[in-house]
Structure formats: C-alpha cells, structure tokens
Amino acid sequence: MPCFASALPTRGARAAAALAALSLAALAPSRALAQGAATPLPADTAPIRVIDPAFMDTTVNACSDFFRYANGAWLAHDTIPAAYSSSGVTRDMSDHNEVVVRSVLDDAVAQRGTHPIGSTPWKLGTFYASCMDSSAAEAAGIAPIRPWLREIDRVTARARLVPEIAALQVNGVNVAFRFGPDVDPHDAAHYVASFGQGGLGLPDRDYYTKPGASADSTRQAYVAHVARMFTLAGESGARAARDAEDVMTLETSLAQASMTRVEMRDPAATDHPMTAAQLDSLVPAVSWPRYYRSVGLTVPVPRANVGMPAFMRRVNSLLVAAPLTQWRAYLRYHVLAMAASWLSPAFVNEDFAFSSRFSGAKQLLPRWKRCLRETDGDLGEALGQAYVAKTFPPEAKARAKAVIEDIRTAFRARIQRLSWMSDTTKAQALDKLARMRQKVGYPDTWRDYSRLVVADGPFVLNVAHANAFEWQRTINRPGQAVDTTEWGITVPTVNAYYDPSKNEMVFPAGALVPQTFDPNADDGANYGSLGGSWAGHEQTHGFDDEGRHYDAAGNLRDWWTAADSAHFTGQADLIVQQFDGYIQVDTFHVNGKLTEGENIADFGGVLTGYDALERALARDGRPGLIDGFTPEQRFFIAYAQSWRVHNRPERLRFRVTVDPHAPENWRVNGPLSDDPDFATAFHCRPGDPMVRPQDSIPHIW
C-alpha cells in the first residue's frame, strides 16, 4: 500500500516478482554498513524544501481550494517535461536521488576493472554498462531472444505447453497465471505457495471488458501494437495480424475470468486455501508436481492459497481447449513485451509509443535514467549501500525515526479516546499498533547477490537472469519462516508502504529527504509532510478497509466486535461517497471504492500528524511565525505541498482504472475539508468549500 501513485506497470519482471515475493534461499550474511560522513550532493541539483512559499498562490482563498492555495504558483508555471507523465514532488525527489545513484553507478563502471570478476561491485558495474551499450542492442536486434521464440515454436503438442509456461515464468515473463510464495494469511509466520491472476498485456482486466468507443479504440490500438511487434520480430503482415487477434482472444478470455481491483480489496475474497488434491481437481490440466519441479521447487507443496479460483478454472479450460497456435502467439508476444524496452530502437520505440497512450509522455526518458531504474530494480541493495553513505547520515535517520515514533504515540492516544469503539476492539487495535514494525532508511541486512548471473553482452539477457535470480531466491519459501528483515522497496525509492501481513511500515532513505523531511526544518513542516502524509498515512493503512482485517501478527482474523465493524463500515462509506463525488478528469469521477483505503489513510494521517505536532509544540516550545504562518498553518501547507503533483490527462484517465490513489488535489482538499482543525487554522466558516457539512464527515480514526 504505497502512498504514491505507481508509475506504469513494468511488464513481466517486476510484476511477477511482486507476487513471487522473496525468499530465504540465499540468506545474506549481515554486513555492516560503511557509515562514512555524508558526502555533499553534486552541485547541479536544485535544493528542495519541505515548504516552498514561492509555490503558493495566496490570491486563492485557502477556504475554497487549499490545494491551489498551497501549490497554485507552481502549477501556473510548471510544464511537464516531455519524457514524463507527471511532474512535482516525486519527480523532483527522484531526479535528485537519481543524480546520486548515477554517481554510484558511474563509479561502479569506472572501477569495474579493480574488482574481482563475479564480485557484487563488478556485477553492478557490468550490469549498468551492458544496459548503457545502446549500439550493441541495436546491432543485436532480436537475436538475443530468438532462442526463446524457437522454444515456443516447438510447443506443437499440448504436453509441452505447461513446461514452456513454467520456463517463461521463471525468467520473468508474465504468462497464464501468477505463482510464488506469499505470507500465509492464516499463519503469518510462514510462507505459503500462492496463485494469482495474471497474464494480461493491457494494464487491467477492465480494458478488455469495458464497453464503449474509448475502450474499443484502446483494444484496437492494442491489437495493432501486438501486430507491429510481431512484424518487427520477422512475421509477415498477414500472419502478424492473425497472431495479434489470437493474443487478444486468449487474453480477453483470461480478463473475463479475472477479478476487478475493487473485488480484490476484500481480503476474504482472495483467501482460498486448498490441499494438493483440491488444486488437482480445480486445475486438472496441470500436473502440479511436474510444474513445481519445472519452476525449481524442491520443497513439498501440500497446500496452496488460490487467490482467484474462477480464474484458475479458466486457465484450465484454455490449457485444454484453446488452439496451440493461439497459445504460441500469446507466449511469443509476452516474450517480446518483456524484452522490448531492451532490444533494438524499433522495438523500444514501438513499446514506448503504445505505453504513452496511458502515460501521455511525449518522448523516452534518457537511456541513463532507464538503465538506472532497471539496475535499481534488479540490484537495488547492491547500490543502496553506497547511496546511503552519500546521502543519509545517522542523524537524519534518528530524527526521522523520532517523528515516526511521535506519530505512533499520537495514534495511540486517538484510539484510546474513540467514543464509538468498544474496549474489546480497542485492546486489539492498541496491541496491533504497539507491534507495528517500522523500517527506516535501509535494511539491516543487505541482499546477497552471489548467485545472480551478470555477463558482458546483450542487456536483455542480464534482465532475464535478474528475473530468474529473484525467482530462485524466493521459490522454495513455502513452509519456511517469514523473513522479517526483508525490504520490498529499494533504498533510493521515493515511496513508502505498509504491509498488513507483516504489520510493518517501510520508509526508504530515498523518501526521507526534502521535500518529505528535513532534519533542520521546523516542526510544522516536518509533521505535516513526513508526519501526516507519510508516517500517519502508512500507519492508518493498518486500520483501513483492508488492513483492519489483519491482526497484530499479520494473520487474517476478525478482531472486531460486530457493532464496531458496522460503525467502521458505515463511516468508511461516507468517505466512499465523498470521493465518488469528485471529478478525476474529463467526465470520469474518482472511484470511491477503489480509492477507499488510501482516502481513509490520508484522513487518518492528517488527524494523527496534527496531534503529533501539537504534542511536539507542547514539548519543545512554540516558534513564532515562519514566513508569516503559524506552526498549524505550516502543517497544512506542508501536507498540501507534499501532494504537489501535476498530471497529464492520459495519466489521470489511466489512473482512474488502475490506481487506488485519488488525484492529488483531492488527496488534499478531501481530508482537509473534513478536518475542523484545518478550518480553525485558516479561519474557514461553515458553507466554505473547504468545510464539509457536519453530517457528511466520517468519524473513524
């Protein structure tokens, strides 16, 4: 449950890795971090501040549109760079972080010869250098992946189909269904084998099923794109067109059996523990012991969680009855889709042109940025150590931890004060809060990359090796104890998350810099941004419409009395209605149900962050006005500026389908117009747009 809208989904690799999360297979020995003095940042990064008064438009009435009041001057002058789908906080912070990461990677390339071949520093330099070698990618064309396509051509008997699917999944190709270990919902101390829906080329099942001219046009564009990819791979125009229709047919069938994102928000809906015999009777077309062997499983799998049984039934019928020509076209396309961004420019450009339909970006990111992001995704903990040494001194970590701990204290007091919640439920909620783990900055134990294969040569093969490494690192986890030291996000990332099955919040160093947080900034600024929109937000995820179904240990268990549960649902429905009423873009409304958890987290974050600020002011003393504002006003300005984002309309249209986060202007104006402390701070009155009527304000946390 990250707090920022994610970028376009990466095809194949990362998406598969997300489900096939992580393993003990190669448990790394703990390595002490070289905690040198922080080196100054390169000079070409503009300083970012937690609050920048120059971004504000104080001619806007704060009680009418606070998002614009806090960010209006910036919005009026901002132009989204051609290679981006949005600009603002995340881009500014990422740009800043990427300059640091680039210096780490440039050093790794320059010093490659000084490290033993096969050592992790050598791998880091070799991986990035092989990505940057664009002329080699151009010269190689499709050659690096031709052996894979030939393997698929050999699927001429149905018996070869599942082994081929398994081989592709191991290399990070998103085909048929998702499989991997996950935390067991009923025994959160151990992993369980898990199945999920997957295998689509468009970003969501709704793109296949939605009626209407706009959806029709996206589907036609997709089929044309798939056909062009086949043509680039050497097929004749007629065959490419036929194959593209086959891909669409097979994927549409998978999509029709897939759950919607709203349906999947209910953890009980994706909780279907099965024995091996039950799995056999659900999907008899697959010999599961043979499949498990093909994907590298060496431990027994007596039971599994099948997230979407109806979807797996559909996979079964397609395995039995869909023509093999259709399957071969489908598998070939997914190999091309996984590889396209690292093949010759014709593939890269075709892949970009289609994805820009969803992002609105007008040109490719520079190659170094694309390579840097891929390297961070695949070898993130190898470069994270150097990143931390350059940017995240121990003092910053200590101060950030103190703010996050203050947020926990403030939330504890809020829970104790709740008049609607019974003592029985409160005791459980307080226990869950007390046991919520916080990870701040960087992992205590860094990942061991000794089994990762990296070689000079085509970069696309290094990506496949990295996918296979991730798969093998985690695949034998079923039945093993959950690794609580592991991080699901890399250190330079500008994001954070709460994981209900581990009951933990994770804040990487990359997010703990301005604009989120500055150890030298005033409390109003830090508690509004890091406190409210980050820590308070993630913490509340433990108690949102999804998170509340998990207990302190991470088990899926109902710890609520019936009356408390009913109260929560009734109040949460008010938030759903509130956001259903907001316009996302054009005539599309925000999907209140899809964004429910994030909106609850935002509201809880604002309330808790504010409480924590008041406690800090009482403890440390009140400063005078800063830039003409009280600490309380600065709290709300910092909160609003932490959502300073400017989106292209294509991205907003894409987000309305896939993103559980509402647009940033509503993430500010929504919760603040429900908050009486906001109205007091800015002297807003009943009837002002930023003051919603009392009876529509939710009372949850």
Using the minimum distance from each CB to Zn ion, give the nearer residue, 184 or 596. 596
Q: Which of 3, 62, 100, 672 binds Zn ion (CB under 5 A)?
A: 3
Using the minimum distance from each CB to Zn ion, give the nearer residue, 360 or 536. 536
Using the minimum distance from each CB to Zn ion, give the nearer residue, 517 or 629. 517
**CA–CA distance, 321 with 325 (Å, rounded to integer):** 11
532 DSSP assignment: I
Name beta bridge partners: 296.
none
Q: How far is the CB of 616 from Zn ion (least distance, A)?
A: 23
Q: What angle do CA 192, 194, 200 make, to 5 degrees?
A: 160
**CA–CA distance, 484 with 481 (Å, rounded to integer):** 9
Contacts of 358 (CB under 8 A, 6+ apart): 8, 203, 650, 651, 653, 654
- Mark 508-520 as b/e (b = at least 16 C-beta within 10 Å): bbbbbbbbbbbbe
Q: How far is the CB of 605 from Zn ion (least distance, A)?
A: 9
Q: How far is the CB of 84 from Zn ion (least distance, A)?
A: 22
Using the minimum distance from each CB to Zn ion, give the nearer residue, 195 or 497. 497
Using the minimum distance from each CB to Zn ion, give the nearer residue, 1 or 460. 1
Is residue 1 involved in binding Zn ion (CB under 5 A)? yes
Q: How far is the CB of 596 from Zn ion (least distance, A)?
A: 11
Q: Peptide bond before 472: cis, by omega within 30 degrees of 0?
A: no
Q: How far is the CB of 512 from Zn ion (least distance, A)?
A: 16
Using the minimum distance from each CB to Zn ion, give the nearer residue, 19 or 601. 601
Q: How far is the CB of 4 from Zn ion (least distance, A)?
A: 8
Site string for Zn ion, 546-585 (x = CB under 5 A): ----------------------------------------
C-alpha pair distances (Å), 201 with each of 110, 460, 647:
38, 19, 24
Tokens 């109260």 identify what position? 567
Using the minimum distance from each CB to Zn ion, give the nearer residue, 601 or 606. 601
Contacts of 43 (CB under 8 A, 6+ apart): none
**CA–CA distance, 263 with 271 (Å, rounded to integer):** 12
Using the minimum distance from each CB to Zn ion, give the nearer residue, 244 or 505. 505
Q: Which two tokens stand for residue 575?
A: 């938030």
Q: How far is the CB of 672 from Zn ion (least distance, A)?
A: 17
**CA–CA distance, 90 with 412 (Å, rounded to integer):** 30
Q: How far is the CB of 537 from Zn ion (least distance, A)?
A: 6
Which range, of 1-9, 89-97, 218-226, 512-520, touches Zn ion by CB under 5 A? Answer: 1-9
Using the minimum distance from each CB to Zn ion, give the nearer residue, 11 or 439. 439
**CA–CA distance, 398 with 182 (Å, rounded to integer):** 32
Using the minimum distance from each CB to Zn ion, give the nearer residue, 461 or 601. 601
Is residue 5 involved in binding Zn ion (CB under 5 A)? no
Name beta bridge partners: 87.
646
Using the minimum distance from each CB to Zn ion, give the nearer residue, 5 or 491. 5
Tokens 């990035």 identify what position? 128
Using the minimum distance from each CB to Zn ion, give the nearer residue, 599 or 673. 599
* 3 state DSSP class of 195: strand
Is residue 506 involved in binding Zn ion (CB under 5 A)? no
Q: How far is the CB of 498 from Zn ion (least distance, A)?
A: 7
Site string for Zn ion, 398-427 (x = CB under 5 A): ------------------------------
Q: How far is the CB of 600 from Zn ion (least distance, A)?
A: 9
* 3 state DSSP class of 274: strand
Which range, of 2-10, 34-42, 161-169, 566-574, touches Zn ion by CB under 5 A? Answer: 2-10
Site string for Zn ion, 587-616 (x = CB under 5 A): -----------x--x---------------
Are 593 and 659 a contacting pair, CB within 8 Å?
A: no
Classify residue 117 by burial, with Cβ atoms within 10 Å: 0-12, 13-18, 19+: exposed
Q: How far is the CB of 264 from Zn ion (least distance, A)?
A: 16
Cα(first)–Cα(last) distance of the chain, in Å? 18
Question: CB nearest Zn ion: which residue?
Answer: 3
Are 227 and 240 a contacting pair, CB within 8 Å?
A: yes
Q: How far is the CB of 503 from Zn ion (least distance, A)?
A: 15
Q: How far is the CB of 192 from Zn ion (least distance, A)?
A: 25
Nearest to 210 by CA among 672, 691, 658: 658
Q: Which two tokens stand for residue 281?
A: 């009777």
Using the minimum distance from each CB to Zn ion, give the nearer residue, 1 or 161. 1
Touching Zn ion, residues 195-254 (CB under 5 A): none
Provide the residue type at 104 as one letter: V
| Region for 276 from its dihedrals, namely left if φ exceeds 0, alpha if ψ lies in -120 to 50, beta otherwise | alpha
Name beta bridge partners: 193.
181, 304
Which range, of 3-11, 18-26, 255-263, 367-375, touches Zn ion by CB under 5 A? Answer: 3-11
# residues contacting Zn ion (CB under 5 A): 4
Q: Which two tokens stand for residue 580?
A: 């259903």
Phi (first) and psi of residue 68, to 5 degrees: -75, -35
Using the minimum distance from each CB to Zn ion, give the nearer residue, 330 or 517. 517
Q: Strand pairing of 86-88 and 645-647?
A: antiparallel
Q: How far is the CB of 636 from Zn ion (least distance, A)?
A: 19
Binding footprint of Zn ion on the chain (CB under 5 A): 1, 3, 598, 601
